[in-house]
Amino acid sequence: MAARLGPRQEPHDDDAAPGRFVDWVLARRADEDMGSLQIRISPQGRTSPKKKANVWIRYAARRVVGSFSLRLRDAGGPLAVKLPAGLVRATSIEIDLSNRTLRLPPAGSATYESLTELLLFSVRFAAGDDRGALGDLVTSCCPRLRTLRVVVASGLRYLALRAEALEELEVSFASCLRTLDVTAPNLRLVKVKRCATDVVRIVAPRLEIFMSSYGLLPLPDLDIPQDCLASVRRLNGISVDMHGKYHRATYFGLWLMEKCHGVEHVNVMLRHRLEDYHAPHVQLLDLTSEAAAPIVSITRMIVRPIEVPDRYLVASVSALLTRFPCLRSLSVRIHGTKRGTLWPKCFCDHTAYSDKCEIHRKVALGLLEEVEIAGFTGADEEMKLVSMLFQSSNSIKRMALRGDAIRHQHLMKLPSSDRGCWNFAEQVLNWTCYAPEMSATLVD
């Protein structure tokens, strides 16, 4: 049996009704096992049943053999929810506390032997649990855990995992986290987002997908052995700090693409990161340098310019693409491009604008077939981007320009190629290559 309990199921209309209704339902179950249990408490202008939360969790530990979910969205006051010690039979636990305190059982006092999924959302780790308690729980009490997600967490400073069965790990918006240290031989997916870590150490020889928004994390702080990087097939959310054709090598996005020799699909953010104009000189490296070796394993790429001034858009994208001659699919999502000529001062202002935008190395994408540009408005810099892509490849079969501001008149201004034609659809401009036999006739 599965049960889902929420405030709309209340049989009474007094302040204590939500909690009393849950108690009533669980009492009717007596000592019977339950396949799954979901409890949702949302803001209803009533007194919070917060005192009952730990009672419900203890009940779930004894009787739920499938999934248990507790979400407290009410406007109640302070609360400390305790994960129970002893034997817990659930296979999946989801806790969402709206930034309330979560207390973990002491290492060795709990047995979560059936647990395969632990999801913690919007929790505040109790004082004393900030240095290793979560890692100890997973390592010593959860031998079958395959998925761990910690999303929006405060008070968690240190997370060390030694987990044989772990396959998926996400740690996002953990503002206090300083060290993430993971050894997991079966780990395949890692997502680390918006955490103020000093050290990220991952030993996972089967790692396939690495997702990160650590565009500002210096290289020495990322420690992944080369034999673990070799198995990676997808990088998502990584950042490259671009200033025209130049980039800062102290940011690990490009480094990851170079070191993950088997990676095929990349989702990369291009940033134009501002620094103090008067700061000490920052070294910029030319991405288009002839000495820069091509990265040939990557065949699919999504590029998202984030806070890039529009005057640098084509130079930044072009410089990046010079390193990836084997691309077959390219999507450029330019929603984050900054419009206009006004832009705060940046350390890169010491380098001449003409130099930053002059690409000496030809962009050659001889295998490129599919192109998408999202957020297209018809601006001059976007037209130059379309032109650059046609000039870089004779193998493009389809190009789609998508945007809310697209109008039929844009067809007259678009760069094109005599190998195909443009067609207008609602909020989309599509270019399609002629069939091979038609192309041959046109050439004749």
pLDDT at 393: 92
Strand partners, 103: 82
151 within a domain of the structure (yes/no): yes
Same domain for 407 and 339: yes
Number of domains in the chain: 2
**What's the rounded Cα separation, in Å, for the pair 75 and 405?**
42
307 within a domain of the structure (yes/no): yes
pLDDT at 241: 80
305 within a domain of the structure (yes/no): yes
Helix (H, G, I), strand (E, B) or coil at 59: helix
17 within a domain of the structure (yes/no): no
Q: What is the torsional sign of CA 108, 112, 114, 116?
A: negative
Place of tokens 């832009």: 343
Same domain for 237 and 224: no
pLDDT at 316: 87
Place of tokens 């803001």: 43
Which residue, among 180, 237, 171, has the nearest Cα to 210 in the 3D structure?
A: 237
Helix (H, G, I), strand (E, B) or coil at 179: strand
pLDDT at 30: 66
What residues contact 133, with CB distance under 8 A and at least 6 apart? 104, 107, 125
Please say whether the beta carbons of 169 and 142 come within 8 A: no
Please say whether the beta carbons of 177 and 159 come within 8 A: yes
**What's the rounded Cα separation, in Å, for the pair 97 and 82?**
11
Q: What is the pTM of this model?
A: 0.81
Q: Which of 228, 256, 275 is the last residue of a domain?
A: 228
184 within a domain of the structure (yes/no): yes
Strand partners, 201: 181, 223
Q: At what angle do helices 17-29 and 53-63 cross, to 10 degrees?
A: 20
6 within a domain of the structure (yes/no): no
Same domain for 224 and 242: no
Same domain for 262 and 179: no
Tally Cβ neighbours within 10 Å of residue 327. 23
pLDDT at 346: 66
- What is the domain extent for residue 206? 24-228
Please say whether the beta carbons of 207 and 190 come within 8 A: yes
Same domain for 237 and 213: no
284 within a domain of the structure (yes/no): yes
Cα separation values, 26 from 60, 371, 380, Å: 10, 56, 65
pLDDT at 6: 54
Which residues in the chain land under pLDDT 70? 1-25, 28-30, 43-51, 74-78, 128-131, 214-220, 249-251, 273-282, 290-291, 336-357, 359-360, 407-411, 436-444
pLDDT tens digits for range 17-40: 556 666 666 776 667 778 888 888
Same domain for 277 and 220: no
Same domain for 300 and 186: no
- What phi and psi values does residue 160 have, to the nearest 5 degrees? -120, 120
Same domain for 205 and 249: no
pLDDT at 145: 96
**What's the rounded Cα separation, in Å, for the pair 258 and 232?**
12
pLDDT at 348: 64
Same domain for 372 and 432: yes
Same domain for 154 and 105: yes
Please say whether the beta carbons of 166 and 148 come within 8 A: yes
Same domain for 224 and 237: no
Please say whether the beta carbons of 123 and 98 come within 8 A: no
Q: Which of 228, 255, 273 is the last residue of a domain?
A: 228
Tally Cβ neighbours within 10 Å of residue 8. 9
Helix (H, G, I), strand (E, B) or coil at 13: coil
Q: Which of 228, 256, 282 is the last residue of a domain?
A: 228
pLDDT tens digits for range 158-194: 999 999 999 999 999 988 888 999 999 999 999 998 7
* Local structure of residue 50 (DSSP, 8 states): G
Tokens found for residue 13: 């209309």
Same domain for 285 and 247: yes
15 within a domain of the structure (yes/no): no
pLDDT at 279: 47
Tokens found for residue 306: 């984030």
